[in-house]
Structure 1
Amino acid sequence: MKRFTLWAGIVLVAALVVIAVVALVWTPFDPIRVDTGSALQPPSSTHWLGTDQYGIDIVSRLMAGARTTLVVGVIAVAIAGLVGIPLGLLIGMSDDRWWSRLALRVSDLLYAFPALLLAILLAAALGSSTGTAMTAIGIATIPVFVRITRAGAMQVMTRDYVAAARISGISWPAIGVQHVLPNVAPLLGVQASVSFAMAILAEAALSYLGLAAPPTTPSWGRMLSEAQRSIFTSPELTLWPALAIGLAVLGFNLLGDGLRDRLDPLLREVS
């Protein structure tokens, strides 16, 4: 069962990546070209899932939306990791000094700040865009990486090989890179997968509210928002983007669970 969870996550994530990569060079139709004469067509050999109220091919828009989703997830998780991991290492290796406690309290304050509210503030200051959504999601995810890295670093710092490295005169940065970071990397990999799923949900919510991707950028959340206007006449328009979001989130969550089961030595012993 644990192996099935991992492979199911790998298959779903790989499918998302393949679709996003293919969308970079090819889609069946232009995903942003409006053709009112072809609006609300049913599925056919030409339009596999039909067209929306603007006459845009749904398959093409879903493919382009996968590309947007993947980019937002990668950038948001990268922002969170590049800031949160070094900060978590620094706090976890600092022997509970005053500045580490202060940094941890600031992280807790940021953790209590909703990502959606942060996105609204950034959108009011900088304007609604995909970059605004990526920045807001990334900043809101930083405290999670800080906490995970700090907890793992504090455990590693109690090991005998770390004490031996300190006695031998190895510098703190070298200990962090050579001993602490490799041992917390599995935890960070699992958290990155889970954070990717949360980033997908957050981006969809922000796009639904008009705070992320502009109308010229295909997005699953915007597809849901626009399909709401035709929900009684063409309810299937809400099905496809909702299904895409659900499968993408499920894939990254299954991948995270599978990696945890695979990498956690305690769980390996139980199995």
Structure 2
Amino acid sequence: MKRASLWTGVVLVGIVLVAGLVSLVWTPFDPNRVFPGAALQGPQGAHILGFDQLGRDLFSRVLAGSQICLIVGVISVSIAALIGVPWGIAAGMLKGWPSELLMRVADILYAFPALLLAILFAAARGSSTWSAMTAIGIATIPAFARVARAATLSVMSSDYILAARASGTPYLMSAVRHVLPNIAPVLGVQASVSFGMAILAEAALSYLGLGSPPLVVTWGRMLREAQTYMFNDPALALWPGLAIAGAVLGFNLLGDGLRDLLDPRLREAV
């Protein structure tokens, strides 16, 4: 089926977006409300997924967890793109040692994964959502820089760029008018893939206690709290696990579908 991955990704991402937007204004119950005597009970009445180990409505918590997932993805990808894209464009347009220096710095930054940066930020400023988002964003900068540089090198070999340079067009104007619009589709694909990785990284940080504070509902923290009851009530880990897997899969499939759609070498014949 043509573009099946694209449409599958759109559907999964759409579900996450709808869940996040709906949970901003409505959830069946307060995600942190405790129902006495209902701990670990199964679905009943309006509680369609049952209760967690403290007697909180599981569906409301899964729904509310989509908020942090989307916020972390948007902020961390924005941080990475706002720094990494100009970085990569500059490395692609410059020649000689300046370009090499920029990319070697990016390689050094690759040595600091999001988990290590989050530990450093947590030690310096304490665990928080902002620390997790900043760590994920900084760790993703080299990926955007490399993709932007590779795409810029391809654009810089085009005839219209050579004509613009011959006419005396400044580098900054060439970057804004010619390079950035032509590499935007590639950056969009990278943003979609990075969004999925940011969701996975935030879930891992929350699972380790390096993300959002305890009262903030996150899918990773739900998994951490459910591990003790894995054999008594597997549903506690099943639903947040499926939510994380569906969100990550959706953004990855969306990125693959956009790549196939926008890359003329991979575009399917209609």
Task: Give the whole-Å Cα distance in 2 for the aligned partners of 1:269 and 1:250.
Answer: 22
CA contact (8 A) 2:192 2:251 kept: yes
Task: Give the whole-Å Cα distance in 2 for the aligned partners of 1:72 and 1:268.
Answer: 31
CA contact (8 A) 2:93 2:153 kept: yes
CA shift, 1:38, in A, is 2.1
CA contact (8 A) 1:94 1:100 kept: yes
Partner of 1:263: 262
C-alpha deviations, 1:46-84, integer Å up to 9, x for none?
200001011111111011100110000000000000000
C-alpha deviations, 1:1-52, integer Å up to 9, x for none?
3411111100110110011001001000001223342211211222000010
2:45 is equivalent to residue 24 of structure 1: no
Instruction: Output the amino acid matched with 1:37.
Output: G
Aligned pairs (5 A) from 1:43-58:
43-58=43-58
Moved more, 99-108 or 14-23: 99-108
Aligned pairs (5 A) from 1:83-232:
83-96=83-96, 98-232=97-231
Structure 2 unmatched ranges of 5 or more? none
Task: Give the whole-Å Cα distance in 1 for the aligned partners of 2:60 and 2:149.
Answer: 43
Q: With structure 1 as the length reference, what TM-score do the two structures score?
A: 0.97
2:33 is equivalent to residue 33 of structure 1: yes
C-alpha deviations, 1:80-101, integer Å up to 9, x for none?
00000011111110123x2332
Partner of 1:3: 3
Instruction: Output the amino acid matched with 1:99.
Output: P
CA shift, 1:112, in A, is 2.3
SS in structure 2 at match of 1:81: helix
CA contact (8 A) 1:119 1:136 kept: yes
Task: Give the whole-Å Cα distance in 1 for the aligned partners of 2:268 and 2:35.
Answer: 59
SS in structure 1 at match of 2:256: helix
CA shift, 1:270, in A, is 6.7
CA contact (8 A) 2:260 2:268 kept: no
C-alpha deviations, 1:188-233, integer Å up to 9, x for none?
0111011011001100000000000111100000000000111121
Task: Give the whole-Å Cα distance in 2 for the aligned partners of 1:117 and 1:216.
Answer: 24
SS in structure 1 at match of 2:261: helix
SS in structure 2 at match of 1:113: coil
Task: Give the whole-Å Cα distance in 2 for the aligned partners of 1:134 and 1:52.
Answer: 27
CA contact (8 A) 1:223 1:238 kept: yes
Partner of 1:42: 42
CA shift, 1:109, in A, is 0.8
CA contact (8 A) 2:2 2:268 kept: no
CA 1:123–1:160: 2 relative to 1, 3 Å: same
Task: Give the whole-Å Cα distance in 2 for the aligned partners of 1:36 and 1:220.
Answer: 23
C-alpha deviations, 1:162-196, integer Å up to 9, x for none?
01111122211111111111111111011101101
SS in structure 2 at match of 1:265: coil
CA contact (8 A) 2:36 2:55 kept: yes
Q: With structure 2 as the length reference, what TM-score do the two structures score?
A: 0.97
SS in structure 1 at match of 2:248: helix
Task: Give the whole-Å Cα distance in 1 for the aligned partners of 2:268 and 2:233.
Answer: 51
Identity of aligned residues (%): 63
Task: Give the whole-Å Cα distance in 2 for the aligned partners of 1:33 and 1:120.
Answer: 30
Aligned residues: 270
CA contact (8 A) 1:36 1:53 kept: no
2:240 is equivalent to residue 236 of structure 1: no
Task: Give the whole-Å Cα distance in 2 for the aligned partners of 1:245 and 1:7.
Answer: 19
Task: Give the whole-Å Cα distance in 1 for the aligned partners of 2:127 and 2:197.
Answer: 20
CA contact (8 A) 2:208 2:224 kept: yes
Deviating beyond 6 angstroms after TM superposition, the runs of 4 or more aligned structure 1 residues are none
